[in-house]
Each structure stands twice: as structure tokens, then as C-alpha cells.
Chains A and B, each alone.
Chain A
Amino acid sequence: MKTEKRILTLLMAVCLALGALAGCSSNEEASDGGTAGTTFVLGDTTFNAENEEPDVNPHNAYSGWACIRYGIGETLFRYSDTMEIEPWLATEYELVDELTWRITLRDGVTFSSGRALDGQAVKECLEHLIEVHDRARGDLMIDTITADSQTVTITTTEPRPTLLNYLSDPYGCIIDMEVGITEDGIVVGTGPYIVTSLVTREELNLVKNENYWDGEPGFDNVTVLTISDGDTLTMALQSGEIDGAYGMPYASYPLFENEDYTFSSTATSRVFFVHMNFESEIIQDDAVRQAIAMGIDKERFVEDLLDGNGYPAMGVYPDNFSFGGDAVTAKGYDPDGAKAILEEAGWVDTDGDGIREKEGQTLTIRWLTYPSRQELPLLAESVQATLGEIGFEVIINSTADHNSIRVDPMAWDVYASAMVTAPTGDPSYFFSTHCLDSSAVNNGHYHSDELEALAAELDETFDTDRRAELAVEMQQIILDDNAFVFCSHLQMSMISQSDVTGLVAHPCDFYEITVDLRPAE
């Protein structure tokens, strides 16, 4: 019996040892199999299917963001730090007439497949884009594309002053359509890194593009890990599992504000804002809308709940736009003023429960928001308290299902959301999507004749100064109508280990992994 036991124990020990050795050998194979040299690992909260970004194919939903962010693809034009359009794969453009643009391409650029970038390659790529991508087709309004050596001539169906801005959108990444798009959504671009493998919601592996046209990329390999949970991302950066992070929760920032990490922050055009539902009887009362606008303590929200990583918003656009920041005026936090306005409009607390009433109706508003932008529920709770002091009852509905609820105008009074208001650097985007009769997400059914007329003028105006003037006028209209309340613009930060340089936050939020990313010397 004892001998049997001994033999069994020995066998188990041998099995364990073999298992351990097998583990070692597979690790060695992995390290020999393509991770030689320097490697940069980025943790990103947004690279996933929930954000309509399941792969790196720019012709699929919002996957262009991954294509451009991770250094795979590049666009014809790009945004400077001041959000001005500047050449990238193109060198210059000429507006031949209102409908015709002639774009000259950069010489000496090749796709990572080895194919030279020329007019024909751009034509094939853009033709495929407008064939399969509804949003791009609507934005670009391309009629014909003609290629001639290093020149591309694009005609549009209507005057399109913002064509270059839209060509700079991530969906405008130029990819090699001769190689095509794999089933996994992998593409070949002109960027500093080349995709080797992609597992949606898990990781993306890239290697250096040895023939990159604009210098030598700093790392031999790059891995992008999808880490959707902010706390996991925090701990991954602390443990050194990742070298850089995008989407870090503001509450974790103090952990990285020391010499072991590098912070790069910039103001973006992402804004937290509130839509009023004009189908709601209570919101139709101008006094109620005014009181809500005056009852949101933007300063406290930014200082306490965003930990100072933003600044109170006046209008739609941030300070770094000529038509943003203080170019417009908006109501500030004034609880006493809000109370006076409500009193004057007949909203009085008659039963002493702290909530005002008027003609038998209580001053109750249903506040719809969603938790995936983690500061939105915080804004809701903050507003619940400050509006509560004024005499409102605020019922919060923070749900991931907000997109289906907000299309029902009977289901909410106020909807708080976050969005990049000027992804293309041009003012027309926000109004065309949110404020007009034709807007896709004007779920509150706001209407202003004056705004419609100015929007029509904006659509046909090429002069940038006049466009900026129109943007200011249009913002002031929606602010005076209290149709939207803009709470704060966000500061966006990229955090990296201190032994890495070049991971820099950009105001348009498009560019992350660039040729400048490299180990610190």
C-alpha cells in the first residue's frame, strides 16, 4: 500500500514538473515568434464593439478611429494643434469651382504593402468608402473622383465648404484597396505601424513599418489592449503591465501625478451638455428652462467631480476655437435668480414639501442620462441637489438603454449626454446633428426659424470668417432659447510610463500612436 502511494506521488510530481516545463517552452516560442525588440503596450477603454469600433477598418462604422489612433492609417489632411487643416498625405489642394476640388498627393509615400500612394489608390479607397459607409457618403457628398498620377479631382453634388474637414475624419484614412480588407477587419495603410493580428475586444498587435515615409517609428512592436474598466486600467498601468493608457478615470489621476509617469493633457471639443425636450409640457415653460440653466453649478461640477480636468462651458465649442469659449454668453449658476424667475412664473411651494407647484402640477423633471461616460451620472446627482434647492424634484434615469428611450418624447424631460461637438474642426456638425428640423438626434424637437435660416446660410458659405460669425450667432440663439445647456468641456489626458516619450494628447482626439512615440533616452 505504502509503495503504491509513493509511486503515485512520484508520478504526480513528474506530471507537475512536465507541465511547468511545457509552460516554459511555450513562452520561449512566443518570445521568439515576433515580440523581439522594443514593445509598447497601450491600454485603451474605448477600442471595442460597444463604441462601434470593433476593428481597424476605416470603412466600418467608427473603426477609423482605431485605424488612425494606432498609427495604421493616415488621412489626406490632418488637424494641427489649433485644429486648423494642414496637409498630410496630400500636399496641397485647389478649389477649382464650388463643386470641384483638386488635391495633390505627396510623392514617395507607400502603403505598408509596398504599393505607392497615387491618385488611383486614393480614388479606389474613397469610392469604396462612399459605397459602404452611410455617414461618409452623407458628409462628403462626392459625385465623381478622377485620378491622374499624383492628383485627385473630386466633384461634389452640392457646394461642400467642409470637404477637407470631412476627408480628415478617421473614416478618410487611405487604405490599399488592392490588398483589401480581411474578414477580421484588418487593413493596410500608410502609417508607422502594420497590423499583425487583431482579436476584437482583446488586443491588437502591430509591428514597425520599416519603410515609413516620415521617419523611423520608435518601437519595434506595439500592442493595444482593450481594457474597458477604468479601475483595471489604473492597476494595469501601476503594475507596469501597460506602458500607456487612454481613458483613465479622473479619480485615478492623483496616483500618476509623479515622476514615474508622463501626463499629456489637452482640451478637446468633447462637452457634457443637456438637451431640453420641447414635447414635454413642463419644459415648454421658458421659466423652467431658464431655472434649469441657472441651477446647474458648472464650477463645482468641474472642480469636484471632474477633479479640475475640464472647464465650465459657455457654448458648444471650447476655447481653442475662434467661435468657441467666451465668443458667446450663457447663464451662470444663480440659484436665487432661478427662484425669482420661477416665483414670477407662478411656480410656488404651497404645501411646504420643498417642491414647487403650479396649477396642480409639481415641478418634477425626469433626467435621462447614461453611465458609460462615468461623469454623467455624477452630473445628474450634482444637479439633483442644486435644482432640489431651487424647488425642483429631479428623477434620474441613468441607463445604458438611453438611445431607445430618448426617441420617445414622452419618456423624458431633460437628456444629458457627452459628445465631441466639432470632430472635424468645423461648426456645422453640431447644429446639423442636434438642432435643426432635419437633425437625426434632435430628439427634443427644438425648432427655431432663425436658426434654420442661418444653418442654410452656413451650408453654402466658404469664407471661414463668415462661418465663424454664423457659428457664434447660431450658438447664441440656442442658448437664449435655453434649448441646450452646456456644462463643461473636457480635458483629455494620455498617461504613459516615464520611460516612454511621444504619447501626446491631441485636441481632436484622433492621434495617439505616432512616429514620435519612442523609448525615452
Chain B
Amino acid sequence: MTGTVSVRRQKIPKNNIRRRLLFFLLLAGLLMLAVTFAEQICPYDPNAQIFSTLEPPSAAHPAGTDRFGRDMLSRILVGLQTSVLSTLTLVAIITVVGTIIGVLCGHLGGMVDAFMMRVCDVCLAFPGLVFAMAIAALLHGGLQNAVIALAVISWPKYARIARSQTLALESTDYVAAARLAGDTSAQIIFRHILPNSAGPILVTAMLDIGTMMMELAGLSFLGLGAMPPTAELGNMMSGGRSMLQTYPWVIIGPGIAIFVAVVIFNLLGDTVRDYLDPRNSRRQSSANGKKEQEK
């Protein structure tokens, strides 16, 4: 029996990627602007229980009101702020911590490496969200503790990537040359390893923003995240769960907000990955070279 395997070679012109990147950066920028100035642009106090309850969307309340008589649009904007800022903090923490541990493990090797990698194995062996729920419950819930719980389970991925990058870079000629030239470990790490391993780590972090936002909202949905009266998209959806059939706007509004934010960050992450992919750069540069030769 014989067979052939065909691989479709996808070529993405760099200019397209750049345009996509700019577009998604613009969207992410707008989202960040809305998030940063949420309290200034929301039409009412998000915690004021002053309107009639469960009003459907109208001109005065474009996203309706909730069962406490609070304006949903104001709460969605402030909830988005809570969700996005907590997620960015979380991703920053796990990226920095994971990278530091991974680089040190890769560079130092030996007992430190063996020990930290077994810790990673333990963390990766548990189902992520279940482990996070256990930690969040131990810490008695709250948004800050939910961020800590997710950070505890999420850093190993970054440590693994940083470690493998470090090991690969350690065996390159230029690192060997730097070592021969008498560079210290710190110099090697900061001058050669970190700059060259930043790409994959950055792409992973960008792609993780959406996932982490969902997981954080998931913990809040389960009552292990933000506590009242803090507006957070996950706990807003949880609060409206029983009203899905009767007063759907209470749950649809925060749901759409999470969807939009996650989609923007995921597509941005994808585009950043494409942009930083060296194969795309090579193809692009070889295509440019051919064009110049033809001229």
C-alpha cells in the first residue's frame, strides 16, 4: 500500500499580517481605552440601586437594568474593566515568574532544574480549572485570590517554554563565544537568552489573555472570584443565570462583553504569532528578493 501526504503550504504576505496586526491593535487599543476610562464613560453609578428592576433595554438603559435596579451598561463597562485589568495583571505575573524560573532552570541545570521541573509536572498533572477552584476556595474567594489561584497553576507553561528556549540558545555558537569572552551568567541571560526567547513567550502570553479572562470569569461565575458589589463579568453572568429565560438581557450583556474582549485578544495574539513567525519573514524576504532580481 502506497500513499502520499500532501502538505498545504500557506503563504501569508507580510503586508497582510501587518495590516491585520494594526487593525487588531486598534481594536485592542479601543477596548483598553474603554476599560481605562470605564468609570468616566459609564452613564450611571454602577452600584446605585436606584432604578426600577429588570427593565428591558431602552434608550435610558441601553443594556437594561438588573434585579437590584442597577444600570447594566454601567456595570458591563466597569465589569469589563475589572475583568480585563485583572487578566492583564495575571498574565503579566505568570509570564514574568514563569520566564524567570524557566531561564534559571535552563541556565543553571542540575538540582534546581530537576526540582523545579518536577514542581511543574505536579502543577501540570492537575486539571487546571479544578486545581484553581481548590486554591481559590482555600483562600476564601475574592478577585485577588482568584488571580493568585490561577497564577499558581499557570506559570509552569511559561517556565517550560523559557527553559526549552534557554537550553536551545545555550548550545548556540554565539552564546559559547560570549562565554569564552568571559561574560557572566547575568550578561548571557540578559544579552542573549532573554531577547532571543522573548518571541515565543510573548506569543504565548498574548494567546493566553483570552483563556485567562475566561478562566477568571469562570471562577467568579462559581462564586470564587469577585465579591459584591464589585461588577465583574463572570459574577454578573452567574447572578443572571436563573433569569436566562425570563430576563435574558441580564446575562446576554455581560456574555457579549466577555465574547468581544476574548475574541479581540485571541485574534491579536494569533496575528502577533503570525507576525513574529520567522517562516513568514523568510518567505516574505525571499519573495522580495525574487522581485528585485526580476526587476
Interface residues of A (CB under 8 A from B): 1, 230-231, 234, 249, 251-252, 254-255, 304-305, 371, 374, 377-378, 380-382, 384-386, 388, 396, 398-399
Contacts and interface: CB of A to CB of B under 8 A. Distances in A.
Interface in B233-271: 241-247
Contacts of A399: 140-141
Nearest to B69: A304
A114 B290 CA distance: 99
Interface string B39-72: 0000000011100011000000000000111000
Contact of A254 (B49, B69, B246): B246
Contacts of B229: 381, 384-385
Nearest to A252: B242
Given A251-B246, A371-B223, A381-B228, A305 B67 contact: yes
Nearest to A235: B245
Contacts of A249: 242
A381 B68 contact: yes
B228 A384 contact: yes
A1 B246 CA distance: 58
A422 B224 CA distance: 35
Given A1-B1, A385-B229, A304 B242 contact: no
A311 B3 CA distance: 77
Contacts, number: 53
20 contacts: A1-B1, A231-B241, A251-B242, A251-B243, A252-B242, A252-B246, A254-B246, A255-B246, A304-B54, A304-B67, A305-B68, A380-B228, A381-B68, A381-B229, A382-B68, A384-B229, A385-B68, A396-B228, A398-B223, A399-B140
A237 B150 CA distance: 37
A378 B67 contact: yes
Interface in B158-173: none
Instruction: Give the top 4 A-B pairs by smallest Cβ distance, nearest first.
Output: A251-B242, A304-B53, A385-B49, A381-B228
A249 B67 CA distance: 14
A305 B53 CA distance: 9
Nearest to A395: B227
Contact of A255 (B47, B54, B241, B245): B245
Interface in B1-40: 1
B141 to A, nearest CB: 8
Contacts of B246: 251-252, 254-255
B49 A382 contact: yes
A396 B227 contact: yes
A252 B242 CA distance: 7
> Interface residues of B: mostly helix, strand, loop or mixed?
loop
A242 to B, nearest CB: 17
B245 A252 contact: yes
Contact of B48 (A234, A378, A385, A396): A385
Contact of A377 (B69, B141, B228, B245): B228
Contacts of B223: 371, 398
Interface residues of B, number: 22
A304 B67 CA distance: 7
B228 A231 contact: no
Nearest to A238: B245
B195 to A, nearest CB: 46
A377 B54 CA distance: 18
Contacts of B53: 304
A385 B242 contact: no
A378 B227 CA distance: 12
Contacts of B47: 385, 388
A399 B69 CA distance: 24
Given A382-B68, A385-B48, A399-B141, 20 more contacts: A1-B1, A231-B242, A234-B242, A234-B245, A249-B242, A251-B243, A251-B246, A252-B245, A304-B67, A380-B228, A381-B68, A381-B228, A381-B229, A384-B228, A384-B229, A385-B47, A385-B49, A396-B227, A398-B227, A398-B228
Contacts of A305: 67-68
Contacts of A384: 228-229
Nearest to A305: B67
Contacts of A377: 228
B66 to A, nearest CB: 10
B53 to A, nearest CB: 4
Contacts of B245: 234, 252, 255
**Best-buried of A1, A230, A254, A304 by chain B (most CB within 10 Å):** A304
Contacts of A381: 68, 228-229
Interface in B130-146: 140-141
Nearest to B223: A371
Nearest to A304: B53
Contacts of B242: 230-231, 234, 249, 251-252, 374
Nearest to A374: B242
Nearest to B227: A396
A263 to B, nearest CB: 16
A131 B140 CA distance: 40
A341 B185 CA distance: 68
A384 B229 CA distance: 8
A371 B239 CA distance: 12
A386 B49 CA distance: 8
Contacts of A254: 246
A514 to B, nearest CB: 29
Contacts of B140: 399
Given A251-B246, A255-B246, A385-B47, A304 B68 contact: yes
A377 B238 CA distance: 12
A380 to B, nearest CB: 7
Contacts of B67: 251, 304-305, 378
Contacts of A374: 242
A304 B49 CA distance: 11
A374 B223 CA distance: 12
A381 B54 CA distance: 16
Contacts of B69: 304
Nearest to B50: A385
A382 B49 CA distance: 8
Interface in B53-94: 53-54, 67-69
Contacts of A1: 1
Nearest to B70: A385
A442 B266 CA distance: 54
A388 B141 CA distance: 23
Contacts of B1: 1
A378 B157 CA distance: 39
Contacts of B141: 399
Interface in B189-245: 223, 227-229, 241-245
B234 to A, nearest CB: 15
Nearest to B141: A399
A345 B228 CA distance: 29
A485 B104 CA distance: 59
Contacts of A385: 47-49, 68, 229
Nearest to B53: A304
A252 B246 CA distance: 7
A230 B48 CA distance: 28
* From A251, A305, A377, A384, residue with most partner B Cβ within 10 Å: A251
Nearest to B244: A231
Of A234, A249, A374, A381, which is in contact with the most chain B CB atoms at under 10 Å from its CB?
Answer: A381
Contacts of B247: 251
A344 B243 CA distance: 43
A214 to B, nearest CB: 38
